Chains A and B, each alone.
Chain A
Amino acid sequence: MNPRIQFQLPSRTHVYRLLKLITIMMLMSTIFLLYTSNIEIDEGDTSLYHTLDALSWISIALFMIVLIPTVWLGVRLYQQRKAETKHIRKSKLNKQITLFDVINTSLMTIFMVLCIYPLIYVLAGSFNQGADYTAGGVYFLPRLFTFENYKVVLTNQGLWQGYVVTISRTVIGTLTALIFTSIVAYAMSRPNLKYKKVFYWINIFTMFFGGGLIPYFLIIRSIGLYNHFLVYIIPALYSVYNMIIFSSFFRSISDELHEAALMDGANEFRIYWQIYLPLSKPVLATVALWLAIGHWNAYFDTMIYTHSPNLQTLQYFLLKAIQTATLTEGMPAEMMLRLSPKTLSLAAIIISMIPVLFFFPFVRKNFQSGIMIGSLKG
C-alpha cells in the first residue's frame, strides 16, 4: 500500500470522529433548546421565550451546517472501508443468531436501562419546579422548567466547602497512598528482602483480624488526628490488599533489569523509583482509580472522625441535604412555597456528579484497553 495513504487514513477518521462528536452535541443542544422553548417555564416571561426561540433556530442552522460534512465524510469512509475489507471472508460459524442471543441481548439492554435511568430521573427532577415536583409524575422530562434549584444550591456555602475538601482529599490521598503502598510493595516483591516471612505475616494478619471501630477511633483520638484534615489522608496511606496487587505486578517485571541497574550502581530505592515505578503504569492506574473512587465517595469517616463543618466532605453534605432538608434552612417563606427540599437535593446530586461524569470516559477507555486484565492476573 502507498505509505502516503496509510498516513492519511487515520487523520481522516480523527476528523470524522471529532465532527461526529460535534454534530451529536449540536443535536442535543438543539433538542434541549427546542424543548425548553416549548414548555412552561417557571418565572418565564415573553423575552425569555423569544431568546430561547432565537437560540433554537440558530442551533438548528448550526447543526445543519455541521451535519452535511459529517455525513459526507462518514459515507466516504464507509465506502473506503468496505472496499478494503471486501476480500476478507467472514466466518459464518459464529454468526448464527439463536433464541439465546435474543434473550441475552434484551436482558443486557434492560439492565443497562436500570443503570442509566436513575440519572435521567434525577436530571428531570432537578430542573423541575419544587412545588410542582411534589405533585408527582416527573419521570423523564421536567414539567415546569426552572433553573432555580441550581441557583439556590450553587449559592450554598457548604457545597463549595465540601467540594474543596473532597477534591483535596482525593488528590492528596491518592498520590500519597500510591507512593507509600508501592514502596512497601517493591520491598516485599524482592526475593532478597531479609526477614521476608515476618513482614509477610505481619501484613497478612491485619487483613483477617482487627480491633473494630471503637479501638480504631481511640487510636485516631490519641494520635491527634481527630477533627483534622489528615484523618482523611494518613489512615488511608496503606492497604495490604493493594500492596499485594502491586507486588505481584513488580514480581512479573524481568529480574534482569534489576540486576543490570545494580551493576550500574543504582541502589534499591533508585531502582524502584526510576525503573519499576515507570514500568508499572497499568497497575498504578488501576490502584489509583480504586483509591480515588474510595476517597471521592467516602462519607462515614467524616461522620465518625470529624465534627467541624470545615472538614465536611461533599458526600456528607449531600447526605445531610437528603436526610434532613438542610438546603432549605433559613429561607424566606415565600421561597419555601415554590422550592422543595427534594428537587434541591436532586440538583445538589447532579452538581456533585459532574466531576465523575467528566472523568468517566477517560477511565472507561483505559479500562477497556485491558488494564485490568494485565494487573489482576497476578
Chain B
Amino acid sequence: MKAKPITIYAIDGTKLNRSIPKSKKKWTTNDLILLAMAMLSVIFLAIFAYAPLYGLVLAFKAGDGYLNIMNAINQAPFVGLANFRDFLADPDFKNIMFNTLGLNILQLLINFPAPIIFAILMSELLSDRFKKTVQTVTFFPHFISWVIFGGIFLSLLDFETGIVNNLFMDLGLIKQPLDILGGEQYFFGLIITTSIIKGVGWGSVIYVAAISGIPQELYEAAKIDGANRFQRIMHITIPSIAPTIVLFFILSIAGILNNGIEHLWVFQNANNIMRSEVLDTFIYKYGIPQWRYSYATAIGMLKSVISLALLIVSNAVLKKVTGKGIY
C-alpha cells in the first residue's frame, strides 16, 4: 500500500505543497485485475443487452417476411412509423391492451399483497413446527415448472373428468359443468388463482425474513401497553417491513407489461384467445413463427418504452409519498 503524501500547511492554513500533481495516480496490477473482472459484465451486456438495442431499427423498417432475419435488418427499406401505426390499427389492438393491462392490474392488486398477508398470517401462527410445515408445503409448487403445474391444472379443471367441476356440481353450486379452460370469461380468474397457489409461499420468503428481523421487544412492549393483535400488526409489523414492500412494489410496476409468458402459454387455447392474448404472446407469435420481424419489434419497443415510463413515474410518486425510491 502506498502512503498518501502528507500535506504541509503554512501557519496561516494555506497548503504549501500544492504542486504535487493529482494525476500522478499509478495503476497497480490489482486495479487492472479489478477492472478486468468488472469488464466481463460490460462485454456480456454489450452482446446481450446493448447490441439488441441496435436491432430496434427493425421497428422502423419493412422487414416482414424475410426468410433470414439478418437480411431483414440490412436490406429492408425504411418505412418510418408505419409498423407502429399498423399495430394501432390492428383489430386485436384494443383486446390485447385490455388483456395485458387488465391481467397486470389484477395481479398487482391481488398477487402483490397476497404474499405479504400470507407472511404476516404465518408469523402469527403459534406453533413453530406448524409454521415450518406451512412454509415447506407452500414452497413446493414454486419448484415445479409451469408446464407441469399447468398440466396438472388442465386435468383438475377438465370439463368432464376434472374434480373441480364435479365437486361444485355435487355441492350444488353449479348446475352444469363450467368450461373453465375454454371459456374466455374465466381466463383472468384462472391465471390469478394459479399464480397465487404457485407463488405465494415462495413470494412470502422475503417478507418472512423481514418480519423475523423485527426485534421481539417491540411486540412485548406493545402487548404490555395493551395493544391487541391487529393493532400490533398494523403498527409494528407493517411499518417495519414497509421498505421491503416499497422496493418490490416498484420492481413489479416496472414489469407491468410482462405477463409471464411461460404461465399464459400453458393455459392459452383457441377458445379463450380473446382474453388470453397479451403483448408477450402476440410478439412471439408474430415475430418468430410468422416472420413478421419488424412488426413484432415495433410492438416490443412500444412495450419497453411504456414500462420504462411507468417505472420512472411510479418511482417519482413513491419517492414523494414515502421518501424512498430505488434510485
Contact = CB atoms under 8 A, between A and B. Distances in A.
Contact of A368 (B27, B135, B166, B287): B135
Contacts, number: 267
Nearest to A292: B143
B317 interface: no
A206 B311 contact: no
A240 to B, nearest CB: 8
Interface in A86-141: 93-95, 97-98, 100-101, 104-105, 107-108, 111-112, 114-116, 118-119, 121-122, 125, 133-139
Interface string B165-188: 010000000000000000000000
Contacts of A35: none
Contacts of A280: none
A101 B37 contact: no
A188 interface: yes
Residues of A contacting B: mostly: helix
Contacts of B135: 368
Contacts of B70: 218, 221-222
A217 B48 contact: no
Interface stretch (B6-14, B102-110, B292-300): B292-300
Interface in A343-378: 345-346, 349, 352-353, 356, 360, 363-364, 367-368, 372-373, 376-377
Contact of A184 (B31, B40, B138, B148): B40
A194 B33 CA distance: 11
Contacts of B280: 213
Given A136-B160, A214-B287, A218-B55, A319 B266 contact: yes
A293 B52 CA distance: 26
Contacts of B265: 300
B37 A107 contact: no
A124 to B, nearest CB: 10
A238 B284 contact: no
Nearest to A317: B147
Interface stretch (A37-45, A72-80, A196-204): A196-204
Interface of A: 93-95, 97-98, 100-101, 104-105, 107-108, 111-112, 114-116, 118-119, 121-122, 125, 133-139, 180, 183-184, 186-188, 190, 192-195, 199, 202-204, 206, 208-219, 221-223, 235, 237-238, 243, 262-263, 267-269, 272, 293, 296-300, 304, 315-316, 318-319, 322, 342, 345-346, 349, 352-353, 356, 360, 363-364, 367-368, 372-373, 376-377
Which 8 pairs between the two chains have the least Cβ-Cβ distance? A215-B55, A212-B300, A211-B52, A297-B145, A187-B37, A136-B161, A215-B52, A187-B38
8 contacts: A125-B155, A137-B166, A214-B288, A218-B58, A221-B70, A243-B41, A372-B209, A373-B212
Interface of B: 1, 27, 29-31, 33-35, 37-38, 40-42, 44-45, 47-56, 58, 69-70, 73, 118, 121-122, 124-126, 130, 132-156, 160-161, 163, 166, 197, 200-201, 205-206, 208-209, 212-213, 223, 229, 254, 261-262, 265-266, 280, 283-284, 287-288, 293, 296-297, 300-301, 303-304, 307-308, 311, 327
